[in-house]
A and B are shown apart, each in its own frame.
Chain A
Amino acid sequence: MAERKRNWDTENDDDLPVYLARPGTADQVPRQKYGGMFCNVEGAYESKTIDFDALNVGQRGNRTPRTAKSGTSCSPTSASSQCKESTWYDMKDSGAEIKTTRGKEFLQNLGDDKSDRLLVKGGRIVNDDQSFYADIYMEDGVIKQIGDNLIVPGGIKTVEANGKMVIPGGIDIHTHFQMPYRGTTTVDDFSQGSKAALAGGTTMIVDHVIPEPGSSLIEAFEQWRNWADEKTCCDYSLHVDITHWNDRVKQEVDILLKEKGVNSFQVYMAYKDFYQMSNSELYEIFTFLGEMGGIVQVHAENGEIIAEEQARMLEMGITGPEGHVLSRPEELEAEAVFRAITIASQTNCPLYVTRVMSKSAADIISQARKKGNVVFGEPITASLGTDGTHYWSKNWAKAASFVTSPPLSPDPTTPDYLNTLLASGDLNITGSAHCTFSVAQKAIGKDDFTQIPEGVNGVEERMSLIWEKAVTTGKMDENMFVAVTSTNAAKILNLYPRKGRLAVGSDADLVIWDPDTVRTVTAKTHNSAAEYNVFEGMELRGGPSVVICQGKLVLEDGGLHVTPGVGRFIPCTPFPDYAYKRVKARKQLAVLRAVPRGMYDGPVSDFSPLSRGGTPSASARTSPTKQPVRNLHHSAFSLAGNPAQRGPPTTEDLPIRPAGRRIVVPPGGRSNITSLS
């Protein structure tokens, strides 16, 4: 286990410089067309399309070097005898309808050796672009072969899918397991949380590291790594939240990006006087991450107005959970989203809006996308599945369990609307923002809603809920379902096609999905430790019948077999193509040039350098770190080149109109319907 982990790490260490160097070498790569959300990822094609030869003529399938290699690697140690046993067993049962497993205890015993090889037969493989029937053979946690009539070593375990869908395991891009909060911790730790995730068909989670303001980002990151390495049952990765901003934080962000495998950072526009960043700080962070190839995630709410509204609510004597939603109307969310988009567009940085909870916020995102902004929206399980009417529940504990920020919208048509936008591609990625507190913990705020710890469950329900709300209603098809539950997330984390796709060479994280199973969500049976479930009583069609994580059967016949600590940290590299291809292209266009003029030699008025001076001198103090950024920028993007080289602004070529300026027509053009003339 550990050895394999090491392998991955070294592999990625090797990769890292290549990724970083890629912008410079991109001109040698044949130009690929791309566009919209399903842009191609370099190198994805080989593993993406099935080897049709292998499909048609089964024999040739094992011709590939990969298989050969795996054949040899199968041999080690004591497995052989057991191997035989299972061969016998498999052969005997090969005609059987369902799976050739014996029982749970047996499975767990097998653990390490035998179940490393697994064949899924007769499944309908569903990727984000197409579905097809094929068998999948995996070994050592990696998919080795896909096709019909695969030649596989004897003695392997076979799962009969019976034509059911086989989809890439879900990626929950937003969790808060084991999150410390004022001395307590969320009730779902990494073990409990990832167990719930696996039960719901999610085989990878991305958790948020939240450093205390003032403390080191790297220390916090290591702390989270420790917690997670010890306990997670599935692969994981980490976002790091930037809760304060200064030179040191900047260096740490740099290290995290380059050495620690973190490519996404969240900033807060809410939580005034605590996590909240000013516009100037946002501008600097966005500029920096835009140059370093990170993804900026934003918790979008206008914290200043919230603070005012909270004070007003409390003054009016509203102290219950309804005050939470009343003090955070959806407009404030939409406003912050708009502002974040503006800053991102100014700094040419890709933007990721976490927790899209309301119609208006989603609308702003889809409008911005239409204008060509590189922005991604993440609705969460709660916003897709339920609404904010429960804040008015007479049961305090129930009402409090819905408290999260931004709040669920009291408009009951919101979930439907968000599902529609998710299906249309205006929103791309789904998370759960799973962050559960017990009722006793929520009761910290029993007399003051602003003190209620925030967070809802959803990691377990996410996949089924989206299936129920979006696929069974006909809003999206199964391929789109895969896109929003895993593929897009993998792309934005730069893990594609290792994750988020069923292809040779991808990780063996997959789910056999049963679209017909019906299950009622209830706190009694869920795998989270929370006492309340915000989806209580909801009936969901569709669910995982088998979950395979790291090539091992984790969920089978309703029985969950997880091993805390097997989860590996998956490092993410900067400059994900999905977000950065467009950004890079735009950077080249965004070179500004001055107009060369003769010196003005006319009279100059006297003026007192009074307060109304221009701003830059005053603002300089807030940003001590400007100079180095520029340098980094130049070194990182050799493509963009030195503006001086690419055309000294000589007088003759000088544009009278702002040619170099980014008025650049946005993709899709700017609509101008009201023009009468």
Chain B
Amino acid sequence: MSGQGYQGKKNIPRITSDRLLIKGAKIVNDDQSFCADIYMEDGHIKQIGENLIVPGGVKTIDAHGRMLMPGGIDVHTRFQMPDRGMTSVDDFYQGTRAALAGGTTMIIDHVVPEPGASLLSAFEQWREWADSKSCCDYSLHVDITEWHKGVQEEMEALVKDHGVNSFLVYLAYKDVFQLTDSQVYEVFSVIRDLGAIAQVHAENGDIVAEEQRRILEQGISGPEGHVLSRPEEVEAEAVNRSVTVANQTNCPLYITKVMSKSAADVIAQARKKGTVVYGEPITASLGTDGSHYWSKNWAKAAAFITSPPLSPDPTTPDYLNSLLSCGDLQVTGSAHCTFNTAQRAVGKDDFTLIPEGTNGTEERMSLIWDKCVVTGKMDENQFVAVTSTNAAKIFNLYPRKGRIAVGSDADLVLWDPDVTKIISAKSHNSNQEYNIFEGLEVRGAPLVVISQGKIILEEGSLHTTEGCGRFIGRKPFSDYVYKRIKARSRLAELRGVPRGLYDGPVCEVSVTPKTMTPASSAKTSPAKQAAAGGQPVRNLHQSGFSLSGAQIDDNLPRRNTQRIVAPPGGRANITSLG
């Protein structure tokens, strides 16, 4: 399905050639900005510099010193997502169109297999949908909705043969998608050994279920019940728990949809302690808050339903933007998953049935520009980092994506920082009737969008080609993530203390139930032998990390290799008096 030339499918006359020259642009990467011309051919950037020698007859765009930046990467979309027989209204065509209109030239969608279904077949299904409809390059995350031995094998296949390097687990949706702590531990161990990235939907599903029941009992059935039953603490708790499990398993962690201050704080603290964890705020959490759940208009209130919910604290967006600017949060997605009012109305008498998701793929870049760059929280380079470069690095697409350099893909955006527009459902490119940012005025928007070396957006008009999006496979062991993990796994070897045999008296024990945990825990985790440190996994691990090898100091008696290892930056100890 890959390939590069897509002239054939729908002949759009405007695209004259694969060759393109942009003159006089200020090229903005995540590390620096400089003025240069840029020449691209066959979807790749071929030359950057001044006074380029280019073939005659190429189309030329004069940038007039405007900023040219790598096209955005939306790391979290859910186009065409099935939910109980319904499908979200933006399919891959409509969704990627909206993305391109907003300056995003690559999306990473989530494959959500039904529990019980095969990951691989779900993956193929999504590939099929996306290949036929997507207008920009895409890649796929796969969600782990249940856990057993077969899933592990499928994960291996996905990583090795299908270009997937990230898996999402759910700590919420009790009795549907939710995994237990033990299962999460095993999933993380497998992910670490495969060199992938563990994504987590972080909410404590047990507590949410209890709260939902309590709130329904109190007669609250409208959308406000959604946010009341999912207080932000519950999100922070789950983030903390997944950080703990990730630390234990030495697995890189990625928190999707950071919606609240406290969850963001937990991530920031964990990073200070040296945990390899990334946080992804989404367009909705950066741009609006949860006060609309109390709207008298049911349809409007329902349009904001997403999980974790938008925080009712109106200072949240500002706070998250600040953390994004200071680097405590790194990546932005949109979690674009749109349902019509009629679809939402499935839950008109019970908020727990309302399909979840908000729009945001089109608004993402402009909104961040408006909230962060215009306000002076971040500069243009940082903007590029959080909208594309960091995502490309984490998911091992860098420098093909997320950077303007010779050899990179020709996915570019010519950014106009001065244009102002008002977001409205009337003019947006999504199929949804509501836009949660309705009426918001944002400064900054793409002037020209180039995807795969072709001009997609120009002079306000969008020229997309259905089905020209390529699937971009991603390799495991992304350097950005795994360099530290590898170093740590070398240190994390544990050893027993060699002692003489204890030969004193031993008390008689009646075989009462107080057997300790390991024996009994086996039953809950069928995939145990292979998963958490069984021999096969160890081997995989070791083959992946030839560096770890045998240790010279293998027979040192004491625990100098124990992982008390000071975390980078040291452990804060300010309260110590003595």
A residues apposed to B, CB below 8 Å: 181-184, 212-213, 271-274, 278-280, 283-284, 302-320, 322-323, 326, 329, 331-332, 334-335, 338-339, 342-343, 345-346, 359, 392-397, 399, 410-411, 413, 416-417, 419-421, 423-424, 438-441, 443-444, 446, 450-451, 473-475, 592-595, 597-600, 602-616, 618-620, 623, 626, 630, 655-658, 661-663, 670, 672, 674-677
A657 pairs with B291, CB closer than 8 A: yes
Q: In this complex, what residue of A is CB-closest to B189? A: A308
List 19 A-B residue pairs with CB atoms under 8 Å apart, sorted by A's residue number: A181-B514, A183-B512, A274-B513, A280-B207, A305-B185, A311-B521, A332-B244, A332-B248, A339-B240, A339-B241, A413-B573, A594-B221, A604-B342, A605-B86, A610-B114, A612-B176, A616-B209, A618-B174, A618-B175
| B-side contacts of A335, CB under 8 Å | 240-241, 244
Segment of B41-49, B71-79, B347-355, B362-370 engaged in the interface with chain A? B347-355
| B-side contacts of A343, CB under 8 Å | 207, 237
| A-side contacts of B148, CB under 8 Å | none
Given contacts A410-B562, A443-B507, A677-B377, are A623 and B213 in contact (CB under 8 A)?
Answer: yes
The total of chain B residues at the interface (CB under 8 A) is 127
Q: Which 6 pairs, one residue from A and one from B, show the smallest C-beta to C-beta distance?
A: A614-B352, A183-B510, A279-B206, A608-B85, A342-B237, A304-B181
A616 pairs with B213, CB closer than 8 A: yes
Give the complex CA separation of A623 and B211 in angstroms: 12
CB B197 to nearest CB in A, in angstroms, measures 20
CB A383 to nearest CB in B, in angstroms, measures 16
A311 pairs with B528, CB closer than 8 A: yes
CB A476 to nearest CB in B, in angstroms, measures 10
- A278: contacting residue among B84, B114, B206, B532, CB under 8 A: B206
Interface residues of B in 294-344 (CB under 8 A from A): 294-299, 301, 312-313, 315, 318-319, 322-323, 325-326, 340-343
Give the complex CA separation of A240 and B221 in angstroms: 38
CB B188 to nearest CB in A, in angstroms, measures 10
| A-side contacts of B182, CB under 8 Å | 272, 304-305, 307-308
B318 pairs with A677, CB closer than 8 A: yes
B181 pairs with A305, CB closer than 8 A: yes
| B-side contacts of A672, CB under 8 Å | 315, 319
| B-side contacts of A610, CB under 8 Å | 84-85, 114
B499 pairs with A279, CB closer than 8 A: no
Q: In this complex, what residue of A is CB-closest to B248? A: A305
- A450: contacting residue among B343, B518, B558, CB under 8 A: B518
| B-side contacts of A611, CB under 8 Å | 114-115, 176
B residues apposed to A, CB below 8 Å: 83-86, 114-115, 173-177, 180-182, 185-186, 204-222, 224-225, 227-228, 231, 233-234, 236-237, 240-241, 244-245, 247-248, 261, 291, 293-299, 301, 312-313, 315, 318-319, 322-323, 325-326, 340-343, 345-348, 350-353, 375-377, 494-497, 499-502, 504-518, 520-522, 524-525, 528, 532-534, 557-559, 562, 564, 571, 573, 575-578
B340 pairs with A308, CB closer than 8 A: no
CB B245 to nearest CB in A, in angstroms, measures 6
CB A588 to nearest CB in B, in angstroms, measures 16
CB B261 to nearest CB in A, in angstroms, measures 8
Give the complex CA separation of A396 and B351 in angstroms: 58
Q: In this complex, what residue of B is CB-closest to A446? A: B502
Counting chain A CB atoms within 10 Å of each CB, the highest count among B233, B295, B505, B515 belongs to B233
User: How many Cβ-Cβ contacts under 8 Å join chain A to chain B?
Assistant: 347
CB A316 to nearest CB in B, in angstroms, measures 6
Q: In this complex, what residue of A is CB-closest to B512? A: A182
Q: In this complex, what residue of B is CB-closest to A673? A: B322
| A-side contacts of B494, CB under 8 Å | 313, 316, 318, 326
Q: In this complex, what residue of B is CB-closest to A323? A: B496
| B-side contacts of A618, CB under 8 Å | 174-176, 209
A396 pairs with B499, CB closer than 8 A: yes
Given contacts A308-B532, A612-B173, are A420 and B509 in contact (CB under 8 A)?
Answer: no
- A421: contacting residue among B177, B505, B575, CB under 8 A: B575
CB B529 to nearest CB in A, in angstroms, measures 9
| B-side contacts of A608, CB under 8 Å | 84-85
| A-side contacts of B315, CB under 8 Å | 672, 675
| A-side contacts of B533, CB under 8 Å | 311-312, 315-316
| B-side contacts of A302, CB under 8 Å | 181, 241, 244
Q: In this complex, what residue of A is CB-closest to B186? A: A308
- A674: contacting residue among B206, B224, B326, B507, CB under 8 A: B326
Given contacts A305-B181, A392-B497, are A182 and B509 in contact (CB under 8 A)?
Answer: yes
Given contacts A339-B204, A657-B294, are A615 and B241 in contact (CB under 8 A)?
Answer: no
A607 pairs with B86, CB closer than 8 A: yes
Give the complex CA separation of A64 and B118 in angstroms: 83
CB B95 to nearest CB in A, in angstroms, measures 19
CB B148 to nearest CB in A, in angstroms, measures 16
B348 pairs with A604, CB closer than 8 A: yes
B496 pairs with A318, CB closer than 8 A: yes
| B-side contacts of A423, CB under 8 Å | 577
Q: In this complex, what residue of B is CB-closest to A275? A: B514
Give the complex CA separation of A317 and B237 in angstroms: 34
CB B569 to nearest CB in A, in angstroms, measures 15
- A273: contacting residue among B294, B507, B517, CB under 8 A: B517
Give the complex CA separation of A28 and B564 in angstroms: 56
Given contacts A284-B210, A342-B237, are A307 and B521 in contact (CB under 8 A)?
Answer: yes
| A-side contacts of B347, CB under 8 Å | 614
A322 pairs with B215, CB closer than 8 A: no
A602 pairs with B299, CB closer than 8 A: yes
| A-side contacts of B85, CB under 8 Å | 606-608, 610
